Amino acid sequence: MLSIKQIRSALVNRDRTAGEITQEYLDRIASVEPQLRSFIAVTPEFALAQAAQIDAKIAAGEALPPLAGVPIGIKDNMCVRGIPTTCASKMLEHWIPPYESTVTQKIADAGAVMVGKTNLDEFAMGSSTENSAFQLTANPWDLSRVPGGSSGGSAAAVAGGECVVSTGSDTGGSIRLPASFCGVVGMKPTYGLVSRFGLVAFASSLDQIGPFGRTVEDTAILLSSIAGYDPKDSTSLNVPIPDYAKLLTPDLTQSLAGKKVGVIMETFGEGLDAEVEAKVKAAIDHLAAMGAEIQEISCPRFRYGLPTYYIIAPSEASANLARYDGVKYGLREEAANLMGMYTQTRESGFGAEVKRRIMIGTYVLSAGYYDAYYIKAQKARTLIKQDFDRAFAEVDVLVCPTAPTTAFKAGDKTADPLSMYLTDLMTIPVNLAGLPGISIPCGLDSTGMPIGLQIISNVLREDLLLQVAYAYEQSTEWHKLEAKGLLVK
């Protein structure tokens, strides 16, 4: 499996062509996709055409863009002009965007080669990718287990070697959770660092696009390519974007010396799998051995993140998904009258989890309950952010488990929505506070499934976040392990 730098070196030295590399990954997809089902749609003609453009640049002696010839998977809730964007929903099964999302335009401008649109939980609502209307994505480490969600297809595609990097969206942990379950690196940037224009909205104050990679360096390179101000997105931050990969120092001890690492104590104890706890604590000890100063930190409202999120996110979802009514685009069910068309379209177009969240959100926003639930949740959100502010006054970064458990068996939690929601317990507060967070592999449990370490930094400190993650990664071997669950001929 190639890295971004290896691909660039091969192209610059003319050892390989972009077309050859793209075909190699398309062949890999053809080989393993029947087992993984990471992609809703594979786009070979589109990918080879993009690769041909890179080869033409090389032949003409032109400078190569940063992602030249890099095979990438795009989560299927990001619009690519002329290619179906389904959000894994029957509602948008045949919808073809007439415009391009800012992120996919940046990726194309950077020279990457899109090999396909990846599977997800419908409208990004879920923690296991079992809510997709089309298929169940498997975990490359164990095909009987889920890859996490909602960006499960993107994580599985990287872990399974179907692409070098991929994009995901993170509303309550939907990048970091599947990264943990699939043993790859997944990062949620600061809210507003990456444009949301062309991302199909779930919860607009929480959604954030971010990168997946097999290594921190690949993740950093992709982040630099997709971050930046966008006037089309009113929440976009107009701040300088550094070359994050160039900030990764090879002197690992120096990058951690004197760094204060806070351990969020509320994330340990009841509900945390014993093996996950042991591996995360071992990772913290490793950081200490490399020169980091470890300090216990209390974020007392951390435990309120889950109920707060499941009031705010469904409320925003009920507003955002009101546009799917059969009138303007997407699915339309014919009926005797307008109200019948509305109800029948939404009844057949939305899956059970999407309907559940719309109903919760509509209830919360209704007269008589708005103050009791929604306003209180927004106040709790402020308190959670204040806890993080106090923590970052004392330490440089925070660490905790990414998820309470490793990947579970498909079907284990589908009948119990609350149990499924608890999977996001460790990741949700980061979204509520708008902070950047990253999940990196830190071990395996006794069944051979990956465990993720979550590192959190203050707003716009992606540089520091990536440096700490890189220092840990490069001083361990976990990122070099490959998924063993695939049956490759």
Q: Which residues are known to be catalytic?
A: 75, 150, 174
How many angstroms separate the CA atoms of 305 and 321, rounded?
Answer: 23
What is the enclosing helix (H) or strand (E) of 376?
helix 376-392
Phi, psi of 398 (to 5 degrees): -115, 150
* Spatial separation of the C-alpha atoms in residues 41 and 76, rounded to whole Å: 9
Taking the C-alpha atoms of residue 187 and residue 374, their distance in angstroms, rounded to an integer, is 28
CB-based contact 139:39 (threshold 8 Å): no
Whether the CA torsion 80, 83, 86, 92 is positive or negative: it is: positive
Secondary structure percentages of the chain, helix, strand, coil, to 5: 45, 15, 40
Sheet-wide strand order for 113-118:
39-42, 113-118, 71-75, 165-169, 209-213, 185-188, 437-444, 450-457, 397-401, 260-264, 293-297
Measure the CA–CA gap between 56 and 130, rounded to whole angstroms: 41
Is the separation of the CB atoms in 266 and 296 below 8 Å?
Answer: no
- Taking alpha carbons only, the member of 279, 233, 216, 276 closest to residue 405 is 276
Torsion of CA 52, 53, 59, 61, to 10 degrees: -160
Q: Yes or no: say if 325 and 349 are a contact pair by the CB < 8 Å rule.
A: no
199: Cβ contacts below 8 Å, ≥ 6 apart: 77, 78, 79, 101, 103, 169, 207, 209
DSSP-based three-state secondary structure for 268: coil
CA of 413: how far to CAs of 124, 140, 148, 178, 329, in Å?
Answer: 17, 19, 12, 16, 33
Cα separation, 195 vs 103, in Å, equals: 7
Query: DSSP 3-state assignment of 114?
Result: strand
Any bridge partners for residue 275, and if so which?
Answer: none
Encode 398-423: b = buried (16+ Cβ within 10 Å), e = exposed: bbbbbbbbbbbebeebbeeeeebbbb
At residue 352, the 3 state secondary structure works out as: helix
CA distance 132 to 129: 6
Q: Which two tokens stand for residue 370?
A: 């708005």
